[in-house]
Amino acid sequence: MTAIARREEQLWSRCAGCASLLYRKRLRRNLDVCPECGEHARLGAPERLRQLVDPGSLRPLSDLLPEADPIDFVDVLPYPHRLTAARASTGLAEAVVCATATIGGHPVALAVMDFRFLGGSLGCAVGELITRTAERALDDRIPLVLVTASGGARMQEGALSLMQMATVSQAIAALREAGLLTVSVLTDPTYGGVAASFATNTDLVLAESGARMGFAGPRVIRQVTGRALPEGFQTADFLLRHGQVDMVVQRRSLRGRLVALLAATRAGRAAHAGHPPVPRQEPASRRERLADDDAALTRPAGPAAAVAPSPTPGAGQTPAVRDAWDTVRMARHPARPTTLDYLDSVFDGFVELHGDRLGGDCPAIVGGVARLAGRHVMVIGHQKGHTTAELVARNFGMASPAGHRKALRLMRLAARLGLPVVTLVDTPGADPGVSAEEQGQAAAIAENILTLTVLPTPVLAVITGEGGSGGALALAVADRVLMLENAVYSVISPEGCAAILWPDRSAAPQAARALRLTAPDLCRLGVVDEVVPEPSAAAHDDPAETAHRLRAALLANLLPLLDVPPAMLVRLRRQRFRRFGTTRGVNRAGVR
Ligand SMILES: [Zn+2]
């Protein structure tokens, strides 16, 4: 390319909407919205910040974090190479830029995602930076504004990326409790784990004109359903029509709308200043809180120590090393015991409860009260099936929004009744369908994750078969997370990962190995607390012995939790999910 041609290219750009050739300076003056057709071009985080905040008010928050490649991920390229390239091409340290600033004179903390950086994917560093920004908002008692642009959780950091959905969600829960406003601005595109957590579990959700948001992407939904998608599927106007966003806002009005909302909520807070709805819990600085966390995690005695269970009989024996892909196939085996099988063999007196009280009863989620060794518990799990007919009737264990809302209702009911919650996780993932998206799949998952981070009753999760991404996490933010030996738990299916990062889906076995989705791997990473060994070949060869072992593991892990006061439980649960953002935490988990 000649120098003149290059210069010409910098001066002009082509609109992705109407293909008009536009003078770049004119386009920028118009906030990167095409003057011909109104197409909103994607913005990088720095430009977005310039458009939103008061001039001179921006105070960037530190983006210094240790270099992380927590699972040594390699596809056709090692992950560190992809990171280096993203840094070079964007000039950013990560896929989010965080700052404090004022907007129309109102102080806010902001985290703005940048889709140019590895598709705005949510990894440990991004989760940590957004969590710190939320904690800064809490410390300064100011609103939090999140601008999202993301393809979802970052595959290259495996299940640790998935954990970030819980980490950020609990920081948002803390702002809710403190009566501080949280706002998310959905920009194009916002999908997957970001959509199913902090993009939708904020107080207010604004969608920029032209933005698309959903849990499952259109390509995946087309593949799974074999149907053409409705016109305008997952666009901002679609989201508004289906009740999933507060408003659709043109870019030129976005700043003004934020100012109006910040002013209104500030006025409301001032009016109630004499009677704050929730007293401030901990005025301690973040540093002090972290020191506190350290103390709690290493405390040798007292209630915190009671949470560390005695080893389960049979646990700790070295399981035979099996290839990750073989484990995936084992986890999906049609004969593998299902949640209803365990409800029959491990629990007594199961009484199933139905319905989300909003219009549906999802067959892929079963739940109700049962007894475990004489103690009453609330059990909630994904239900698959053994025959094709059963699998179809249960939608292959893929929960709809109604299923997630049923689970949410039962979790809250359990907390009110003082019952511990036991969840059994076995799902390829949340239902990737047109109606699931219409009914707010992302927000339904997001609300479950957030609620579990603050649920004032013991929560014990077991990954019994497939732990598929956000759909699994919607039942797995728990005080203790157990995993059957041949279960898998992953941020994305190996097939899905292979289709994106390798030349084709036949690389699924390599992807399975790279994702670190087996129970021993996840135990090393601290995502899982204990592996429940399966008999001889696998669970389905001896379901009775599997049930026996699962029951022993459940009791060994649940009984110590029953003595911990609810407030302490919630505090420890939050610490459990807070530590995944830091290399420090991963190391700590790794050496346990
Ligand atoms: Zn245009």
CA 229 / ligand 1 centre spacing (Å): 24
- CA of 233 from ligand 1 middle (Å) equals 20
What is the reported pLDDT for 381?
Answer: 98
Ligand 1 centre to CA of 20 (Å) is 6
For residue 374, what pLDDT is reported? 92
What is the CA(42)–ligand 1 centre distance, in A?
Answer: 13
Residue written as token pair 């994305």: 492
Q: Could you tell me which residues come within 8 angstroms of residue 52 by beta carbon, excluding any fewer than 6 positions away? A: 101, 103, 110, 145, 147, 254, 255, 258
Q: Supply the angle between the helices 158-177 and 441-454 in degrees, to the nearest 10.
A: 70
The kind and range of the H/E element at 48 are helix 45-52
User: What is the per-residue pLDDT for 290?
Assistant: 39
Instruction: Enter the DSSP assignment of 541.
Output: G
Spacing, Cα 94 to ligand 1 middle (Å): 30
**What was the pLDDT predicted at 10?**
76
Nearest partner of 569 among 301, 280, 197, 306, judged by Cα: 306
What burial class does residue 588 get, using C-beta atoms within 10 Å of its C-beta: 0-12 exposed, 13-18 middle, 19+ buried? middle
Three-state SS for 121-188 is CECHHHHHHHHHHHHHHHHHCCCEEEEEEECCECHHHHHHHHHHHHHHHHHHHHHHHCCCCEEEEEEE
183 residue type, one letter: V
Widest CA span in the chain: 81
pLDDT score, position 320: 58
Cβ 344 vs Cβ 301: under 8 Å: no
pLDDT of residue 322: 84
Average pLDDT, 10 consecutive residues per value, the chain (592 residues):
65 92 93 95 97 97 86 92 96 97 98 98 97 97 98 96 97 95 97 98 96 95 91 96 94 95 78 50 42 37 43 49 92 97 96 91 96 95 97 97 97 93 98 96 98 97 97 98 98 93 90 96 96 91 95 97 96 92 43 28
CA of 19 to the centre of ligand 1 (A): 6
- Residue 21 alpha carbon to ligand 1 centre in Å: 8
Cα(399)–Cα(426) distance, rounded to whole angstroms?
A: 10
Q: Are strands 365-372 and 59-60 parallel, antiparallel or unpaired?
A: unpaired
Measure 14 CA to ligand 1 centroid, in angstroms: 8
**Which pTM was predicted?**
0.87
DSSP 4-19: HHHHHHHHEEE-TTT-
Q: Are 583 and 336 in contact (CB under 8 A)?
A: no
Query: How far apart, in whole angstroms, are the C-alpha atoms of residue 281 and residue 175?
Result: 11
Tokens linked to 562: 């029953």
> How many residues are recorded in the chain?
592
Q: How far apart are CA 211 and CA 47, in angstroms?
A: 17
Query: Pairing state of beta strands 106-113 and 421-427?
Result: unpaired
Instruction: Give Cβ neighbours of residue 381 (< 8 Å, ≥ 6 apart).
Output: 339, 342, 343, 365, 366, 367, 423, 424, 425, 426, 464, 475
Residue 44 Cα to ligand 1 middle (Å): 19
Per-residue confidence (pLDDT) for residue 592, from 0 to 100:
27
- The pLDDT assigned to 266 comes to 78
* Residue 37 CA to ligand 1 centre (angstroms): 4
Residue 312, CA distances (Å) to 315, 529, 533 in order: 5, 12, 10
| Predicted local confidence at residue 289, as pLDDT | 41
Question: Which of 11, 183, 192 is CA-nearest to residue 115?
Answer: 192
β-bridge mates for residue 247, sequence order: 206
For residue 579, what is the DSSP state? Answer: G
Closest to 425 measured CA to CA, from 363, 392, 472: 472
Q: Which two tokens stand for residue 95?
A: 């896929």
Query: 323: helix, coil or strand?
Result: coil
What is the CB neighbour count within 10 angstroms for residue 203? Answer: 17
Residue 207 CA to ligand 1 centre (angstroms): 20
Ligand 1 centroid to Cα of residue 192, in Å, is 28
Q: Which is nearest to 175 in space by CA: 479, 454, 568?
A: 454
Q: State the CB neighbour count (10 A cutoff) for residue 582.
A: 20
- Please tell me the distance from the alpha carbon of residue 308 to that of residue 298, in angstroms, as a whole number: 11
Distance 7 CA to ligand 1 centre (A): 22
* SS3 per residue for 457-504: CCEEEEEEEEEEHHHHHCCCCCCEEEEECCCEEECCCHHHHHHHHCCC
48 contact partners, CB below 8 Å, separation of at least 6? 112, 147, 187
Residue type, 568: M
Give residue 307's pLDDT: 46
Ligand 1 centroid, distance to 248 Cα (angstroms): 19
pLDDT at 285: 47
